[in-house]
């Protein structure tokens, strides 16, 4: 048996050793958007109802504005109060119906969005349960939590508001344009003169801000990750007096976040006022041109009034698209970070696993085992160990010599560089991983207790265990006496990783958990 303990420390890569998912590359925005649309596609009936409500609501708005033309030409100019009252009632009815359709569309959108987010959140959590330990060894826990919370919230906001609003604005834009051309092709050309320039400027801003939104989400994840580390490590921070150093490092991370967020918000935020100003100029030019047509070419006043209403309305969806782009960019950046985790390969399954030895005798053999947490930094060299059934052994060595690493290899937490590990002369890599782990009872050096009762924390070793079996395991682990002295005994709630217990008591609960497995 030989190990390396000279130049390569055995400690796992720290949570801050890597800030990004392995092989994570920013996706193009449309790919992330397309994937979100695929999540929505499972609710086709609801989407159809939303689309119908959206179309009817938009049509009502457009139709109500068009009625201004006959209202002015046929009734206002002819001073027909009765006729004006009739058409006013029609317009009121249209706007009431429009409001109903808009409320229905909004309510349905919320339901669809929340169900989609729930499914996405479940898929993200499910994938995280099956990721290899190497993934968690090399990624900040706080950054992963940021993907689960902050990034998920930005996607939720986009599904609730931005995407639907963009669709409404696009349909309104097309409908308004069609009616403008129908009323006056000449005025329509004048009204559309500045649109190419607006689109060109929008494209420049979009390309510029996209990069900063992705950087902003990454910086937010880093800051959250550092905060999580400092909260969980407060005892270490305080005992070594590193409060000021921690504050200084967080200020540096926060400064980076501020710079990225400022740039992202600046470039995306400048779009709306820019488009609004250009729309106002465009509206003024259209009004002047329309007035000239009324005076010189006999263009009807009602047509001009309706056209100007559409011209103003034409600028509104452009402005709304600009304003919603901010949240959409943040959402797509967040979605990319979420999909980066979902796309990470889970633990590989054993192909055609062999049957577990029955009964398990307990002979464990390590044959020429070579291992490194990363291939270029090998830790164990040509390890040979043969443990007979019932034999008790202990690993003794310097810190970092590989004692805990050998134990971590038995449940197949990590793949070997070469060599093999045998259980009763059968390679553990040919056995079903879950069945193998059920046969092992391991007490880890680092204890972890869940937010639950003492009873349920012990039962975590085998969820089917009865209360009597849990108590028997606690007695075997010499934990029963102190558990019975707790305020509610086995029903005592543990929080914050069992912070109200001593380290020794927490370890005894861990031993009881392993005993019952």
pLDDT reported for residue 9 = 30
In this prediction, residue 240 carries a pLDDT of: 66
Please compute Rg for the chain using Cα positions.
33
Measured distance CA(251)–CA(239) in Å, rounded? 21
DSSP string computed for 251-269: HHHHHHHHHHHHHHHHHHH
Instruction: Give the whole-angstrom CA distance, residue 330 versus residue 354.
Output: 48
* pLDDT tens, residue by residue, 40-56: 888 889 989 999 998 99
CATH of the domain at 380: 3.40.50.300
Q: Are 423 and 360 in contact (CB under 8 A)?
A: yes
User: Are residue 193 and residue 51 in the same domain, yes or no?
Assistant: yes
Has residue 339 got a pLDDT over 50?
yes
Q: Is the pLDDT of residue 201 over 60?
A: yes
> Looking at the predicted structure, is the pLDDT value of residue 228 above 80?
no
pLDDT, tens digit, 9 for 90 and up, residues 478-498: 999 999 999 999 999 988 778
pLDDT at 113 exceeding the cut of 50: yes
**How many CB atoms within 10 Å of residue 327?**
19
Q: Are 83 and 48 in contact (CB under 8 A)?
A: no
Token look-up 């457009």 returns: 62
- The two three-digit tokens of residue 329, written as one number: 């960019």
Q: Per DSSP, what are the bridge partners of residue 421?
A: 366
Q: So what's the pLDDT on residue 422?
A: 92
State the total domains in the chain.
3
Comparing 17 with 328, the larger pLDDT belongs to 328
> What are 345-358's pLDDT values in tens digits?
888 877 788 888 88
DSSP string of 60-109? HHHHHHHTHHHIIIIIITTT-HHHHHHHHHHHHHHHHHHHHHHHHHHHHH
User: Do 448 and 417 meet the contact criterion of CB atoms below 8 Å apart?
Assistant: no
Same domain, 96 and 221: yes
Per-residue pLDDT, 468:
93
Distance of alpha carbon 420 from alpha carbon 287, whole angstroms: 83
Give the tens place of pLDDT for each residue, 238-260: 766 778 888 888 888 889 888 88
pLDDT at 20: 42
Is position 253 within any domain? yes
- Give every CB contact of residue 135 below 8 A, 6+ residues apart in sequence: 22, 344
> Is residue 375 located within the same domain as residue 424?
yes
pLDDT score for 239 = 62
Residues 416 and 502 grouped into a single domain: no
Of the candidates 370, 302, 288, the residue with the CA atom closest to the CA atom of residue 84: 302
Least confident of 207-216, 414-423, 458-467: 207-216
Q: Do 331 and 463 have their domain in common? A: no
pLDDT score recorded for residue 478: 92
Does residue 288 carry a pLDDT above 80?
A: yes
Please identify, among 287, 312, 342, the residue that sits at the C-terminal boundary of a domain: 342
Show the domain range for 338: 29-342
Mean pLDDT across the chain, nearest whole number? 83
Per-residue pLDDT band for 143 (boundaries 50, 70, 90) equals: confident
The pLDDT-based confidence of 467 (bands split at 50, 70, 90) is very high
pLDDT band at 368 (very low <50, low <70, confident <90, very high): very high
CA distance 106 to 93: 20
Is the pLDDT score of 371 beyond 80? yes
Do 171 and 304 lie in one domain? The reply is yes
Kindly tell me if the per-residue pLDDT of 317 is higher than 80. Answer: no
Q: Is pLDDT at 440 greater than 80 in this prediction?
A: yes
Sheet containing 364-371: give its strands across: 2-3, 380-387, 364-371, 418-423, 426-427
Q: Specify whether 337 is located in the same domain as 375.
A: no
Residues 87 and 196 in one domain: yes
pLDDT band for 22, please (50, 70, 90 cuts): very low
Are 463 and 420 contained in the same domain?
A: no
Buried b (16+ CB within 10 A) or exposed e, 103-113: ebbbebbeebb
The pLDDT value recorded for residue 3 is 39
Same structural domain, 420 and 458: no
Q: Are residues 427 and 489 both part of a single domain? A: no
Q: How many CB atoms lie within 10 A of CB 159?
A: 24
Are 302 and 199 members of one domain?
Answer: yes
Percent of the chain with pLDDT strictly greater than 90: 20
Asked whether residue 447 is domain-assigned, the answer is no
Q: Is residue 445 part of a domain?
A: no
Report the range of poorest mean pLDDT among 120-129, 201-210, 327-336.
201-210
Residue 17 has pLDDT above 60, yes or no: no
Inside any domain, residue 233: yes
Instruction: Say if residue 270's pLDDT is above 80.
Output: no
Give pLDDT, residue 322.
Answer: 67
The burial of 101, by beta-carbon neighbours within 10 Å (0-12 exposed, 13-18 middle, 19 or more buried), is given as: buried
């Amino acid at each position: 048996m030989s190990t390396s303990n000279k130049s390569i420390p055995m400690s796992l890569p720290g949570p801050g050793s890597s800030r990004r998912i392995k092989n994570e590359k920013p996706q193009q925005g449309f790919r992330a958007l397309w994937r979100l649309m695929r999540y929505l596609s499972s609710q086709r009936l609801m989407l159809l109802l939303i689309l119908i409500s959206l179309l009817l609501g938009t049509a009502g708005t457009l139709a109500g504005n068009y009625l201004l033309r006959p209202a002015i030409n046929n009734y206002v100019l002819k001073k027909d109060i009765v006729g004006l009252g009739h058409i006013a009632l029609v317009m009121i009815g249209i706007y009431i119906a429009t409001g109903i359709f808009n409320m229905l569309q909004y309510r349905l959108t919320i339901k669809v969005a929340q169900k989609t987010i729930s499914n996405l959140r479940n898929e993200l959590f499910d994938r995280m349960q099956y990721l290899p330990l190497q993934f968690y060894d090399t990624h900040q826990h706080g950054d992963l939590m940021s993907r689960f919370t902050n990034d998920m919230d930005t996607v939720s906001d986009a599904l609730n508001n931005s995407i639907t609003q963009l669709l409404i604005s696009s349909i309104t834009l097309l409908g308004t344009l069609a009616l403008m051309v129908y009323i006056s092709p000449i005025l329509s050309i004048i009204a559309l003169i500045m649109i190419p320039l607006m689109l060109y400027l929008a494209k420049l801003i979009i390309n510029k801000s996209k990069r900063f939104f992705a950087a902003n989400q990454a910086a937010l994840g880093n800051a959250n990750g550092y905060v999580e580390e400092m909260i969980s490590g407060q005892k270490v921070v305080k005992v070594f007096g590193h409060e000021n150093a921690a504050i200084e490092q967080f200020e540096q991370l926060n400064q980076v976040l501020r710079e990225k967020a400022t740039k992202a918000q600046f470039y995306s935020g400048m779009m709306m006022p820019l488009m609004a100003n250009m729309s106002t100029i465009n509206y003024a030019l259209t009004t002047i041109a329309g007035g000239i047509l009324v005076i010189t070419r006999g263009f009807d006043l009602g047509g001009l009034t309706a056209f100007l209403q559409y011209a103003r309305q034409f600028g509104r969806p452009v402005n709304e698209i600009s304003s919603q782009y901010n949240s959409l960019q943040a959402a797509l950046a967040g979605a990319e970070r979420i999909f980066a985790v979902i796309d990470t390969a889970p633990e590989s399954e054993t192909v055609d696993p062999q049957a577990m030895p029955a009964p398990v005798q307990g002979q464990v053999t390590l044959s020429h085992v070579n291992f490194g947490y990363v291939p270029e930094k090998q830790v164990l060299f040509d390890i040979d160990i043969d443990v007979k059934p019932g034999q008790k052994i202990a690993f003794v060595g310097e810190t970092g010599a590989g004692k805990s690493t050998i134990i971590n290899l038995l449940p197949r937490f990590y793949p070997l560089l070469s060599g093999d590990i045998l259980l009763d002369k059968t390679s553990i890599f040919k056995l079903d991983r879950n069945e193998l782990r059920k046969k092992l009872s391991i007490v880890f050096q680092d204890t972890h207790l869940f937010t639950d009762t003492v009873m349920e924390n012990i039962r975590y070793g085998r969820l089917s265990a009865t209360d009597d079996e849990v108590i028997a395991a606690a007695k075997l682990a010499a934990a029963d006496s102190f558990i019975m002295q707790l305020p509610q005994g086995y029903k005592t709630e543990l929080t914050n990783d069992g912070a109200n217990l001593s380290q020794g008591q927490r370890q005894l609960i861990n031993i009881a958990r392993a005993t019952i497995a």
